[in-house]
């Protein structure tokens, strides 16, 4: 079969060349059009349901909305985790699904169940809203909108009716959340004293206002020829016109709305706010759909904003507060530069080491063909270009030329030997035979590399999402290189390699071979010393590995930073805005900080379910300034606000933590239990225990605390006497305190709500609420205090649930010590604590994810090693040679551990995948070296012994060195640049691969010949 393929390729070499050139051109065109992102999608399939319930307390929201929704949605097919969060007047239920679940099918499942329960929710609750589907890195742009001449209400009007609709029409945009929004309202501001003096009831005001602002059909009139619609022009957009609405008649005189209420243009009570640079404004957060191209969406949004400039010329637009596309462009550019530079260095090595310039050219051709073939397959599988895919291609660089090198080397050698024969064979037959001769070893070596990377495909969660595209790109490139060596290399060799061409002498090759020959003589004469030295080195490395620290994901070199500002629960929006303004002046005073944006509390239909005490600050810094110094200055500034919890993070790190545990911290102890008071008490005890751990930082208990709330309890006897129930009181307080919509009017295609609301003095304190008027069923107007007790009570600010149980988080980060050591000690100490029945902790966060990933990788690696041994045994059919091959694998691990020590002593997820990669390369070199020993003994008449081992080692010297050097040089640009943007995950991986290759190459060339000579003879 293989012979027929190679023979056909050489015979049809012109067709092979045309197909190869077409593939290269098509591949380059595909790369230009491929979607670019920093990382692949790493968040699980998520569906979020938000339900507004104005006026409900936190516990009422939990009992009346969150829990019924949980009960209805629990058991949804493929559901993995069910979480809920209840705050004052808002419920959020989040469903996380198993990997591989179809997003739209999951949403369909949820929608079906939601339809069944929605009708059973309280009347006060608005219909549950399913949030739009968002990607794992959903925020593509934060746009600051401000003005020196317009009010925040006017800015809101332009934003909501001009800017937001245009941005929502852009393909890939899922949502545009607006913080600081101040909608225009036509408000009827009532004063209880004026109502009481005029004898007008609240119900009369509501009825008159509703009639004035109602929108009803006027019907139609049919004439013999046409139907004519009847229109009632009773809608008013001016306060003075609405003020003339008649409410009632007293003594024959009309009482108008303006007589008993102030009619004015106002805005609803704020649920959030924003700060743009030093002042007021709106913050627009543009979010994208899953799999949408971040760079393309960003550019389209920026183009749309530029297009809208004539219509919004009074607004100042700052679209650089947070722009992840900048980091993506920088990261992709850095990796592409590393790929190009690595390819040039590999080509240089080939030109230096191959003793035939034409042979070097043939081998170089394998680079674009293999890499572009991999890109084409990935594109066909809907895998976009991201840093992980490019990293996989960079790692594969050195190996994609290896198959071609081995093939070309053997073809040259066979052509030379054929020339010395009395009856030389045809060039075609020699090339086909020479290719077949090495094909078995190369195929088995490639199979081993593929088996080595199989564990990566079984990883789940973030680890799998990050590294599966890398492994896929790497394996596809290796597989493509095998096909290129099988089809293209023999065809080009026939065209370029001339039997009569004189082989060039390369001084460095001759020098290396002569020195290696002398070294082999010394080593093979005293193998015991080498064995002892290797055993000592391996033992020392193994012991040293226990002292390595660990982390899951590194810090990303983004130039956009977010900082959480967390005040005590119950803090007002005004207080948080004051603190945000102060922070804006402090942060903008730091050299290199370009702009500032903050969003306080929450926005309508947004992904933040928080109270007014929560603020996110965002700054971007100049990429040309000293990164570490600027970040340090930002951290120092943020730690200067006493009484407020603050942290400094990058968006990528914060989002990965959020996906891992639902929080933005690295270490999470999640405590489950039924009673909130016991949960808070035990959480504080756990916090005190965690404080004793060295290296703990940013430690806090999730702020689920009691805050002052006003409770109104009906006086049953008085209420029955006057015919008043709880709902009557709720309607009054809801209308006065937050306003009740009674209708809407339109002006210039813009909708303006008409709202009845209480005057500021009627809702200033608890006494004002006690004095609110309420209409009785028997005529006299009462005060709320006549029929109800109004008093302060401590109520939870928020209640979180997961797996149908209440829970609270104790969270922290690690500082001045590696994450693994800190989290491991935390887990040990907390596990030793005694908790009441029904209460238990769960350990989440980066360390827990890394621990689970490491355990899974170790288990899969054992299976992988067994599979490798099986493949090698099938090829060698000798348990002795298989065991010798197995003994060569730890050579790579030694160097990898040394590399981790030299680069900081921390093993990350990238390092672990680096160990897998270098293990595959070392296995490939080992099997090729042993296969060549076996070939010399079996096919070229050599007896087992010193001559065969020396000859095989010397002939494999250049190909092994070239493979190691090519792979190392391909990764050197990443190592020399360090963990810059785009290299954060790839840098530790590259360090492990290069250092592992160094030791495995040296020990393969020095120790493996000694082992084979000592134990490789097969007894007959």
Element spanning 658, H or E: helix 651-661
Q: Assess contact for 668 and 661: CB atoms under 8 A.
A: yes
pLDDT band at 70 (very low <50, low <70, confident <90, very high): very high
The dihedral over CA atoms of 982, 984, 990, 996, expressed in degrees to the nearest 10, equals -170
State the pLDDT at residue 501.
Answer: 47
CA distance 487 to 8: 9
| Paired strand residues for 781 | 775
Element spanning 111, H or E: helix 103-118
Give the strands of the sheet with 593-601, arranged side by side.
Answer: 279-280, 272-276, 593-601, 614-621, 560-566, 645-650
**Which comes out higher in pLDDT, residue 593 or 212?**
593
CA distance 710 to 768: 12
Q: Assess contact for 49 and 110: CB atoms under 8 A.
A: yes
State the pLDDT at residue 236.
Answer: 61
CA distance 773 to 196: 8
**In 3D, which of 670, 679, 657, 684 has the Cα closest to residue 827?**
670
Contacts of 664 (CB under 8 A, 6+ apart): 564, 647, 649, 654, 657, 658
pLDDT, averaged across the chain: 83
Does residue 69 come out as left (phi exceeding 0), alpha (psi in the -120 to 50 range) or beta?
alpha
Question: What phi and psi values does residue 9 have, to the nearest 5 degrees?
Answer: -65, -40
State the pLDDT at residue 1019.
Answer: 59
Burial class (CB in 10 A: 0-12, 13-18, 19+), 596: buried
pLDDT digits (tens, 9 = 90+) for 880-917: 888 888 887 787 788 888 888 887 788 877 787 788 77
pLDDT digits (tens, 9 = 90+) for 275-295: 998 888 999 999 998 878 888
Write the CA distances from 351 to 11, 346, 358, integer angstroms: 28, 9, 9
State the pLDDT at residue 270.
Answer: 84
pLDDT digits (tens, 9 = 90+) for 914-955: 887 787 777 777 887 888 888 788 877 788 888 888 888 888
Sign of the Cα pseudo-torsion (460, 466, 471, 477, in order): positive
State the pLDDT at residue 925.
Answer: 78
Question: What phi and psi values does residue 752 have, to the nearest 5 degrees?
Answer: -125, 120
Element spanning 566, H or E: strand 560-566
The b/e string for 634-646 (b: 16+ C-beta within 10 A; e otherwise) is: beebbeeeeebeb
The pair of three-digit structure tokens given for residue 257, joined into one six-digit string:
């709305």
pLDDT band at 660 (very low <50, low <70, confident <90, very high): confident
State the pLDDT at residue 860.
Answer: 82
Whether the pLDDT of residue 233 is over 70: the answer is no
CA distance 224 to 244: 40
pLDDT band at 240 (very low <50, low <70, confident <90, very high): confident
Q: Assess contact for 505 and 355: CB atoms under 8 A.
A: yes
pLDDT digits (tens, 9 = 90+) for 962-1018: 778 877 887 888 888 877 777 777 888 888 888 888 888 888 888 888 888 888 776
pLDDT band at 302 (very low <50, low <70, confident <90, very high): very high
Q: Assess contact for 185 and 752: CB atoms under 8 A.
A: yes
Write the CA distances from 828 to 589, 816, 832, integer angstroms: 43, 20, 6
What's the angle, vertex CA 404, arms to CA 402 and CA 405, rounded to 5? Answer: 60
Q: Assess contact for 730 and 756: CB atoms under 8 A.
A: no
CA distance 135 to 37: 12
State the pLDDT at residue 960.
Answer: 80
DSSP string, 506-548: -HHHHHHHHHHHHHHHHHHH-HHHHHHHHHHHHHHHHHHHTT-
DSSP string, 181-231: ----EEEEEE-HHHHHHHT--HHHHHHHHHHHH------EEE-SS-EEE--
The pair of three-digit structure tokens given for residue 881, joined into one six-digit string:
């040679």
SS3 6: helix
The pair of three-digit structure tokens given for residue 491, joined into one six-digit string:
């065809």
Q: Assess contact for 127 and 98: CB atoms under 8 A.
A: no
Question: What phi and psi values does residue 127 have, to the nearest 5 degrees?
Answer: -60, 135
pLDDT digits (tens, 9 = 90+) for 104-113: 999 999 999 9
pLDDT digits (tens, 9 = 90+) for 612-654: 888 889 988 888 888 888 988 988 888 878 778 888 888 887 8
State the pLDDT at residue 106.
Answer: 93
Question: What phi and psi values does residue 411 have, to the nearest 5 degrees?
Answer: -65, -45
pLDDT digits (tens, 9 = 90+) for 824-871: 899 999 999 999 998 999 998 877 877 777 788 778 878 888 888 888
**Which comes out higher in pLDDT, residue 233 or 210?**
210
**Which comes out higher in pLDDT, residue 396 or 139?**
139
| Paired strand residues for 982 | none
Contacts of 64 (CB under 8 A, 6+ apart): 53, 56, 121, 122, 125
State the pLDDT at residue 533.
Answer: 78
- Residue identified by tokens 């002569």 is 514
Q: Assess contact for 714 and 725: CB atoms under 8 A.
A: yes
Q: Assess contact for 761 and 776: CB atoms under 8 A.
A: no
**In 3D, which of 894, 888, 895, 896 has the Cα closest to residue 868?**
888
Q: What is the mean pLDDT of residues 723-748?
A: 82
Whether the pLDDT of residue 1020 is over 60: the answer is no
What's the angle, vertex CA 860, arms to CA 389 and CA 1004, rounded to 5? Answer: 75
Give percent above pLDDT 70 in the chain. 96
What's the angle, vertex CA 636, arms to CA 631 and CA 639, rounded to 5? Answer: 125
CA distance 375 to 390: 9
pLDDT band at 722 (very low <50, low <70, confident <90, very high): confident
| Whole-structure pTM value | 0.80
Q: Assess contact for 759 and 190: CB atoms under 8 A.
A: yes
CA distance 922 to 402: 13
Whether the pLDDT of residue 599 is over 80: the answer is yes
SS3 448: helix
pLDDT digits (tens, 9 = 90+) for 310-362: 988 889 999 888 888 888 888 888 878 887 887 888 788 777 776 667 777 88
CA distance 758 to 191: 6
**Which comes out higher in pLDDT, residue 27 or 81?**
81
The pair of three-digit structure tokens given for residue 385, joined into one six-digit string:
């270009």
Q: What is the mean pLDDT of residues 234-261?
A: 81
CA distance 469 to 39: 9
- Residue identified by tokens 């238990």 is 840
pLDDT digits (tens, 9 = 90+) for 490-516: 888 888 776 554 455 567 777 888 888
DSSP string, 830-880: HHTS---TT-EEEEEEHHHHHHHHHHHHHHHHHHHHHHHHHHHHHHH--HH
CA distance 787 to 910: 67
pLDDT digits (tens, 9 = 90+) for 752-810: 888 888 888 887 788 888 888 887 776 667 888 888 888 888 888 889 999 889 999 99
Sign of the Cα pseudo-torsion (196, 199, 201, 206, in order): negative
- Residue identified by tokens 């957009």 is 237
SS3 744: strand
CA distance 584 to 595: 9
CA distance 107 to 97: 10
Whether the pLDDT of residue 235 is over 60: the answer is no
pLDDT digits (tens, 9 = 90+) for 134-167: 888 888 899 999 998 898 999 998 999 899 999 9
Q: Any idea what DSSP says for residue 62?
A: I
State the pLDDT at residue 6.
Answer: 79
State the pLDDT at residue 202.
Answer: 81
Positions of E strands within 602-737: 614-621, 645-650, 667-672, 696-701, 706-714
By DSSP bridging, strand 316-322 and strand 560-566 are unpaired
Q: What is the mean pLDDT of residues 192-219?
A: 79
SS3 285: strand
């Amino acid at each position: 079969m293989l012979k027929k393929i190679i023979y056909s390729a050489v015979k049809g070499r012109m067709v092979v060349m045309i197909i190869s050139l077409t593939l290269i051109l098509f591949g380059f065109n595909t790369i230009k059009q491929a979607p670019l992102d920093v990382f692949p999608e790493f968040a699980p399939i998520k569906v979020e349901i938000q339900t507004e319930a104005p006026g409900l307390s936190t516990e009422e929201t939990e009992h009346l909305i969150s829990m019924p929704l949980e009960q209805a949605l629990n058991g949804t097919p493929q559901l993995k985790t069910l979480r809920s969060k209840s705050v004052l007047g808002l419920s959020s239920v989040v469903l996380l699904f198993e990997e591989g679940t179809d997003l739209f099918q999951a949403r369909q499942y949820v929608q079906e169940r939601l339809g069944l329960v929605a009708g059973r929710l309280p009347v006060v609750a608005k219909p549950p809203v399913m949030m739009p589907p968002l990607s794992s890195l959903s925020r593509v742009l934060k746009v600051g909108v401000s003005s020196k001449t317009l009010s925040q209400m006017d800015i809101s009007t332009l934003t909501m009716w001009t800017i937001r609709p245009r941005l929502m029409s852009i393909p890939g945009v899922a949502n545009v959340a607006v913080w600081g929004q101040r909608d225009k309202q036509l408000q009827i501001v009532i004063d209880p004293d004026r109502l009481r003096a005029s004898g007008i009831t609240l119900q009369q005001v509501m009825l008159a206002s509703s009639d004035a602002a109602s929108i009803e059909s006027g019907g139609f009139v049919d004439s013999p020829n046409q139907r004519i619609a009847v229109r009632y022009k009773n809608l008013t957009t001016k306060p003075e016109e609405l003020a003339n609405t008649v409410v009632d008649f007293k003594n024959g005189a009309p009482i108008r709305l303006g007589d008993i209420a102030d009619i004015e243009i106002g805005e609803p009570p704020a649920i959030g706010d924003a700060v743009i640079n030093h002042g007021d404004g709106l913050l627009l957060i543009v979010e994208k759909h899953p799999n949408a191209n971040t760079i393309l969406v960003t550019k389209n949004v920026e183009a749309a904003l530029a297009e809208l400039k004539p219509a919004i010329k009074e607004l100042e637009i700052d679209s650089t507060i947070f722009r992840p596309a900048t980091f993506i462009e920088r990261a992709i550019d850095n990796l592409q530069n590393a790929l190009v530079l690595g390819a040039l260095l590999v080509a240089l090595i080939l030109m230096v080491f191959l003793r035939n310039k034409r042979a070097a050219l043939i081998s170089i051709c394998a680079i674009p063909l293999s890499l572009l073939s991999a890109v084409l397959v990935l594109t066909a599988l809907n895998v976009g270009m991201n840093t992980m895919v490019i990293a996989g291609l960079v790692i594969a660089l050195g190996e994609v030329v290896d198959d071609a090198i081995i093939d070309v080397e053997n073809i040259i050698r066979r052509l030379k030997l054929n020339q010395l024969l009395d009856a030389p064979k045809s060039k075609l037959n020699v090339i086909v035979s020479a290719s077949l001769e090495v094909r078995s070893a190369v195929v088995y070596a490639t199979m081993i590399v593929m088996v080595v990377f199989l564990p990566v495909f079984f990883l789940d969660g973030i680890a799998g999402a990050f590294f599966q595209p890398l492994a896929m790109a790497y394996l596809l490139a290796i597989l493509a290189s095998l096909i290129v060596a099988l089809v293209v290399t023999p065809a080009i060799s026939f065209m370029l390699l001339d039997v009569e061409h004189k082989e060039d002498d390369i001084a460095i090759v001759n020098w290396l071979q002569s020195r290696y020959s002398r070294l082999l003589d010394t080593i093979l004469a005293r193998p015991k010393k080498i064995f002892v030295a290797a055993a000592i080195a391996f033992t020392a490395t193994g012991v040293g590995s226990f002292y390595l620290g660990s982390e899951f994901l590194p810090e990303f070199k983004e130039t956009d930073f977010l900082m959480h500002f967390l005040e005590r629960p119950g803090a007002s929006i005004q207080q948080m805005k004051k603190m945000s303004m102060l922070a804006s002046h402090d942060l903008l005073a730091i050299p290199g900080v370009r702009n500032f944006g903050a969003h306080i509390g929450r926005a309508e239909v947004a992904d933040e379910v928080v109270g007014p005490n929560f603020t996110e600050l965002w700054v971007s810094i100049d990429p040309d300034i000293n990164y570490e110094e600027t970040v340090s200055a930002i951290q120092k500034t943020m730690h200067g606000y006493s009484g407020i919890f603050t942290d400094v993070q990058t968006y990528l790190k914060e989002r990965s933590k959020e996906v891992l545990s639902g929080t933005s911290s690295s270490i999470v102890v999640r405590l489950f239990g039924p009673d909130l008071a016991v949960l808070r008490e035990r959480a504080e005890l756990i916090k005190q225990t965690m404080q004793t751990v060295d290296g703990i930082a940013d430690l806090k208990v999730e702020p689920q605390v009691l805050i002052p709330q006003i409770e109104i309890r009906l006086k049953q006897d008085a209420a029955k006497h006057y015919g008043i129930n709880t709902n009557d009181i709720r309607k009054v307080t809801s209308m006065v305190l937050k306003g009740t919509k009674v209708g809407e009017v339109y002006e210039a295609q813009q909708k303006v709500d008409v709202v009845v609301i209480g005057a500021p003095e009627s809702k200033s304190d608890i006494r004002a609420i006690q004095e609110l008027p309420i209409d009785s069923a028997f005529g006299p107007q009462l005060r709320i205090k006549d029929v109800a007790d109004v008093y302060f009570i401590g109520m939870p600010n928020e209640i979180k649930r997961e797996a149908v149980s209440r829970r609270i988080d104790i969270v922290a980060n690690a500082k001045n010590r590696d994450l693994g050591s800190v989290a491991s000690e935390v887990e040990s100490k907390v596990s030793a604590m005694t908790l009441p029945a029904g209460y238990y902790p769960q350990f989440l966060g980066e360390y827990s994810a890394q621990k689970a990933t490491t355990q899974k990788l170790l288990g899969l690696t054992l299976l992988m090693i067994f599979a490798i041994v099986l493949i090698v045994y099938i090829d060698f059919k000798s348990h002795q040679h298989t065991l010798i091959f197995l003994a060569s694998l730890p050579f790579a691990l030694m160097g990898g551990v040394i590399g981790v020590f030299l680069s900081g002593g921390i093993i990350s997820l990238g390092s672990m995948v680096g160990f897998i990669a270098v293990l595959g390369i070392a296995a490939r070199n080992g099997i090729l070296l042993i296969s060549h020993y076996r070939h010399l003994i079996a096919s070229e008449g050599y007896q087992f012994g010193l001559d065969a081992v020396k000859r095989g080692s010397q002939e494999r010297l250049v190909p092994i060195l070239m493979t190691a050097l090519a792979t190392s040089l391909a990764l050197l640009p990443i190592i020399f640049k360090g963990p810059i943007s785009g290299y954060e995950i790839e840098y530790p991986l590259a360090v492990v691969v290069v250092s592992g290759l160094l030791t495995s190459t040296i020990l393969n060339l020095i120790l493996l010949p000694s082992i084979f000579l000592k134990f490789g003879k097969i007894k007959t």
